[in-house]
């Protein structure tokens, strides 16, 4: 809390990024440490020439890779196929689309509705970072033979919420939620409660990055993630399976509706006004 209090005088968008970077750095350190400890406990240190990975790969994991699968990145030894040029082109195109949305789409939409401009800007940032730059980093690491699969894996192809949140959308965050909440809680709480508690934890973390910097909208990000957890559990019900709500085109529509429909809970207007629009102005998009 002292760290958060110290950031209070900063512009709210700087506050947001400072909290996000601090959480990211903490997760990086914990996953790196756990990977080394797990390697030691398996008695593999001698065969691998030591617990510590190659120093350059360790530096790359800590500073130049957003994923959280430390064992795969640090110690993966299986041959990694070189990515085709089409993937490079796709990643570059997504990055360019994000740039266009930020510095062309935002000025075009701002006169019509500031909130719309904020959403266009957020979409552009997501394309520049998650779909673009992070994909380019994945391609670069895989070209060097490192197991660094993309954190975004074609989420629009998801045919269920379980697939969307578990295998396609921001797999780095899913890795953390599974390792530090779902798996430890599963033996004591059971699958239903462990699932909901994992989504609750995700919501609380997003409150720190969204609601606290915005100084408003408290509880909405948590409500969004609890709704996702309930939706994921509902699609496992017998009735949902009977009507195909977790497969094929119908499952894709349901997953998209549940994940995207209440997105304004995750990014409420107070966050767009107090954090996103000032940030877009600071980077010259407004």
Q: Per-domain residue ranges for the chain?
A: 1-77, 78-152, 153-286
Of residues 80, 1, 3, 77, the one with CA closest to residue 44: 77
Average pLDDT of the chain, as a whole number: 91
Q: Any idea which of 73-77, 91-95, 115-119, 177-181 has the lowest mean pLDDT?
A: 73-77
Q: What is the pLDDT of residues 115-140, one digit of tens each?
A: 999 999 999 999 999 999 999 999 99
Of residues 8, 23, 14, the one with CA closest to residue 208: 23
Average pLDDT of 148-169?
A: 94
6: pLDDT confidence band, cut at 50, 70 and 90?
low
- Judge contact between 89 and 100, C-beta under 8 A: no
pLDDT in the model for residue 237: 85
Query: What is the spatial distance between Cα 177 and Cα 171, in angstroms, rounded to a whole number?
Result: 10
**DSSP labels for 197-254?**
HHHHHHHHHHIIIIIHHHT--TTHHHHHHHHHHHHHHHTTSHHHHHTTTTSHHHHHHH
- Judge contact between 61 and 32, C-beta under 8 A: yes
CA distances from 227 to 67, 140, 221, 232, 247 (A): 25, 36, 10, 9, 20
Query: What is the spatial distance between Cα 171 and Cα 176, in angstroms, rounded to a whole number?
Result: 9
pLDDT in the model for residue 48: 46
47: pLDDT confidence band, cut at 50, 70 and 90?
very low
- Judge contact between 272 and 119, C-beta under 8 A: yes
- Judge contact between 203 and 229, C-beta under 8 A: no
Q: What is the pLDDT of residues 18-41, one digit of tens each?
A: 999 999 999 999 999 988 787 766
244: pLDDT confidence band, cut at 50, 70 and 90?
confident
Whole-number percent of the chain with pLDDT over 70:
92
268: pLDDT confidence band, cut at 50, 70 and 90?
very high
- Judge contact between 228 and 165, C-beta under 8 A: yes
pTM of the prediction? Answer: 0.90
Q: What is the pLDDT of residues 7-20, one digit of tens each?
A: 667 899 999 999 99
Asked if pLDDT for residue 256 goes beyond 60, the answer is yes
Average pLDDT of 254-258?
A: 93
pLDDT in the model for residue 49: 45
Q: What is the pLDDT of residues 194-203, one digit of tens each?
A: 999 999 999 9
- Judge contact between 135 and 152, C-beta under 8 A: yes
CA distances from 153 to 167, 251, 259 (A): 7, 17, 16
Average pLDDT of 226-241?
A: 90
């Amino acid at each position: 809390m002292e760290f958060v209090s110290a950031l209070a005088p900063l512009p709210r968008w700087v506050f947001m990024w400072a909290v996000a970077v601090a959480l990211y750095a903490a997760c990086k350190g914990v996953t790196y440490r756990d990977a080394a400890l797990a390697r030691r406990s398996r008695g593999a240190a001698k065969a691998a020439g030591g617990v510590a990975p190659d120093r350059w790969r360790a530096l790359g994991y800590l500073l130049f890779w957003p994923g959280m699968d430390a064992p795969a990145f640090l110690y993966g030894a299986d041959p990694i196929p070189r990515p085709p040029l089409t993937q490079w082109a796709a990643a570059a195109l997504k990055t360019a689309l994000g740039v266009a949305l930020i510095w062309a789409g935002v000025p075009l939409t701002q006169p019509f509705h500031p909130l719309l401009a904020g959403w266009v800007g957020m979409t552009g940032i997501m394309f520049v970072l998650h779909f673009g730059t992070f994909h380019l980093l994945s391609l670069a690491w895989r070209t060097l033979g490192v197991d660094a699969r993309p954190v975004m894996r074609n989420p629009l192809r998801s045919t269920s919420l379980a697939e969307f949140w578990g295998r396609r959308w921001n797999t780095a965050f899913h890795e953390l939620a599974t390792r530090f909440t779902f798996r430890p809680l599963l033996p004591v709480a059971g699958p239903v409660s462990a699932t909901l508690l994992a989504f609750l934890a995700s919501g609380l973390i997003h409150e720190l990055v969204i609601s606290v910097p915005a100084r408003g909208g408290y509880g909405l990000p948590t409500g969004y993630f609890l709704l996702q957890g309930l939706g994921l559990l509902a699609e496992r019900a017998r009735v949902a399976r009977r009507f195909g709500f977790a497969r094929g085109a119908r499952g894709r529509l349901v997953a998209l509706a549940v994940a995207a429909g209440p997105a304004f809970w995750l990014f409420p207007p107070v966050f767009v006004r107090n954090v996103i629009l000032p940030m877009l102005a600071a980077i010259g998009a407004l």
